[in-house]
């Protein structure tokens, strides 16, 4: 279980039922479920102190910001043809040619983006499909 954020809209702890809280800590369980706990229950159930929980929240917020920045760049750099996407990839990567190990072409709504296999999970979660160029 780890902390991913703070909510001021849910003011009741889902663990102990205490209500009227100023805020709750949003935790993701090992099963992927989101739960809202007060600070005491969050510490008790996760086995982590308040500083560790705060650090987890800060890291999650930074990760979300990097992801949204990356997706904005992908959408702005998408091209109408696979060739144009490969040329854009070359320009972004100081002339390194596309189609080396780890490079993948993605397609969404008739647009193409050439990127790295590291980005596959993120792009697939946003509706981009892997497009094999023959």
Domain layout of the chain by residue ranges: 2-69, 78-130
Per the structure block, which two tokens stand in for 21? 């809280």
**pLDDT by residue for the chain (134 residues), tens digit each?**
999 999 999 999 999 999 999 999 999 999 989 999 999 999 999 999 999 999 999 999 998 888 888 888 888 888 988 888 888 888 887 777 777 777 888 999 989 998 888 888 889 989 999 886 64
Residue-level pLDDT at 77: 87
- For residue 63, what pLDDT is reported? 87
- Asked whether the whole model's pTM tops 0.95, one would answer no
Residues ≥6 apart with Cβ < 8 Å to 13 = 19, 21, 24, 36, 37, 38, 41
């Amino acid at each position: 279980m780890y902390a991913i954020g703070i909510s001021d809209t849910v003011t009741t702890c889902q663990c102990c039922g205490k209500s009227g809280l100023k805020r709750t800590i949003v935790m993701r369980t090992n099963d992927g479920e989101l739960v809202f706990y007060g600070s005491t229950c969050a510490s008790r159930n996760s086995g982590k102190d308040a500083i560790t929980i705060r650090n987890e929240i800060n890291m999650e917020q930074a990760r979300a910001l990097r992801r949204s920045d990356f997706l904005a760049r992908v959408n702005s750099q998408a091209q109408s043809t696979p060739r144009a996407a490969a040329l854009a990839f070359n320009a972004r990567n100081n002339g390194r040619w596309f189609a080396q190990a780890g490079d993948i072409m993605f397609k969404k709504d008739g647009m193409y983006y050439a990127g790295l296999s590291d980005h596959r999970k993120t792009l697939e979660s946003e509706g981009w499909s892997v497009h094999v160029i023959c």
